[in-house]
Amino acid sequence: MFLDARRRRLPKLFLLVIALALPLTACGQDLGRSNFGRTTVPAAAGGTGQQTDGPITDAAVAANALRVIKPCQFLTKDALGALGLGTVEEDPSPSSIAFDTCSNKVKDPGGKEIRFEVKVGSTLLPRADKTTGQVGGLPLRVDKSDDTDCLAAAMTALNPDLALAVTVAYPGEPCRPAQTLLEAAVQKVHNSPEKYSTPAGTLLTADPCAMADTATVTAAVPSAKSAPSGLHSCEWKSNGSDPTITVKFLPGLPPIVGGGYSKVDIGGGVTAYQKQPTTSSSRCVVEWQHRPWQGDDVELAQVDYSSYAAEASSDDPCGKAVTVAKNVVGKLPKP
């Protein structure tokens, strides 16, 4: 789950799915043996959080505030070093395909590696029954999938769920460093967090769920219902299932013709690139450059249509994706 190979031309099309359906043992007060001090995340009475359903009204963790927060600030040498978890040898590694994800690693005093990933606005989260208390006034969910992997999440929104999430891989007691880092991150979010610059027209501040008209999406996805799939991604599903339209904003290199991608005009003088993967399902991705980002990278907008129940030959996935893309491009903030 920590791999983030540099995408040289086109964004990855699939999110990594974290298997949380199996019965799991949540981390409680007894976190076992470790080589560093115990975290001080408080537990609510009875072992459940004081708030397990919405709304969360903390302005510091509202979606508009979180969209511009830099995720790597929580994983710098100074930030990790202050937690007393061990030795930090490297600078953090920002994701090359997401604005909101960063990773780094620490060697504990015994020489074992602790691998961290922070995601601001995660939707791949522990279930509500994994709520174990609060962190910084936010509901805390903790899920230990096995002896080496743990996911700790400070819920920033409920129904639909979003969170500031820390994933740890550690051949010790992974929930302890996960909760330790999460507590520090939540404190930082409430106390002058570092933010991206937001030049005119940036997609960083755009709400992807507001970037497509319901009528346009419904033509491709009947009875469409939208829900955020991250701070920079939104899904419309037909009756909560299939087919699906996803609107996503992400960093990446400018798209080009090749690898099955071809040019398509989406209006407003914008050239996009479309690809219909050669799979048994009906799917098409349309993406285009919006504005410069950092270095060689640009801000990309992407529309992804998929239906696993339909045949591509009769479904016209690219026709549907392009129609939505033409709607989205006209609603994006202007550079």
Q: Do 230 and 274 have their domain in common?
A: yes
**Is the pLDDT confidence value at 39 over 50?**
no
Q: Do 129 and 224 have their domain in common?
A: no
pLDDT of amino acid 49 = 38
Structural domain ending residue among the three candidates 189, 220, 237? 189
Average pLDDT rounded to a whole number, residues 150-165: 97
Q: Left (φ > 0), alpha (ψ -120 to 50) or beta: where does 86 sit?
A: left
Mean pLDDT, the chain, integer: 87
Average pLDDT rounded to a whole number, residues 117-141: 97
pLDDT of amino acid 312 = 77
Q: Do 246 and 274 have their domain in common?
A: yes
Q: Do 176 and 214 have their domain in common?
A: no
Average pLDDT rounded to a whole number, residues 228-252: 94
- CB–CB of 282/306 below 8 Å? yes
Indicate the SS3 state at residue 324: helix
**Is the pLDDT confidence value at 176 over 90?**
yes
DSSP 25: B
**Is the pLDDT confidence value at 16 over 80?**
no
**Is the pLDDT confidence value at 33 over 90?**
no
State how many domains the chain has.
Answer: 2
Which tops the pLDDT comparison, 4 or 285? 285
The range of the structural domain enclosing residue 254 comes to 203-329
Which tokens is 280 given?
Answer: 């048994």
Which tops the pLDDT comparison, 45 or 245? 245
Q: Cβ contacts of residue 52 below 8 Å, gap of 6+?
A: 128, 131, 139, 158
**Is the pLDDT confidence value at 14 over 50?**
no
Average pLDDT rounded to a whole number, residues 1-29: 38
194 assigned to some structural domain: no
